[in-house]
Amino acid sequence: MYYTRSAHRSGFTLIEMIIVIAVISVVSLVTAPLGIQFYNSQTITGMQGQLGDSLTRARSQAVTQKNDSAYGLCLNNVFWSTGTTTASYALYAGTTGTACSSHNTLADDQYQLLAGTYITFPTPMNEIGFAKHTGTPTATGTISIVWNGLTKTLTLDNLGTVVEN
């Protein structure tokens, strides 16, 4: 009885496998930072849009005199012992210009942002209110959002219009 070897071998050689793994590794190393950068950019753009929508909503509710009240946003940047910040803000109904202290906090719409987010309002009281009937803001200027080394801004004009920059 004679045994014959097959002239045709199936499968991959070790060299071919190493080449494929090397190509996949190089492609991953090139595209991973781009993917992370894209994710971070989209995340901060989403926070910018959410804050802009909240400002527009507060102004709209003040103009339509919902619950016969003025409306506004109250900012809270919480500093942790680790040196990081977590920003949150509340859309509230009530008297504006009192450092967010004269409204019913149980009725507020609370918005929590990602850890490490820091927001600055163009007012030292960290509050932007909108007058009943007119929607005129108590502060105008640039609102900055900083997260993960990226910065986005909003501009609030004297009519209460929000522009994303």
Q: Which amino acid is at 101?
A: S
How confident is residue 79, by pLDDT bands cut at 50, 70 and 90? low
Give the Cα separation of 57 and 63 in Å (integer): 10
Is the residue at 82 inside a domain?
yes
Is the residue at 30 inside a domain?
yes
Structure confidence at residue 42 (pLDDT): 94
Percent with pLDDT over 70 in the chain: 82
Is the residue at 1 inside a domain?
no
* DSSP reduced 3-state for 85: strand
Structure confidence at residue 80 (pLDDT): 53
List the domain range (segments joined by +) for residue 138. 15-164
The whole-number average pLDDT for the span 134-143 is 91
Percent with pLDDT over 90 in the chain: 42
The domain total for the chain is 1
Contact 119, 75 (CB under 8 A): yes
Give the Cα separation of 86 and 148 in Å (integer): 12
Read off the pLDDT of residues 51-74 as tens digits, 9 standing for 90 and up.
999 999 999 999 998 878 888 888
Q: Is 83 or 28 the better-scoring residue by pLDDT?
A: 28
How confident is residue 35, by pLDDT bands cut at 50, 70 and 90? very high
Which CATH number does the domain housing residue 125 bear?
A: 3.55.40.10
Q: Is 43 or 98 the better-scoring residue by pLDDT?
A: 43
Tokens 């190089």 label which residue? Answer: 26
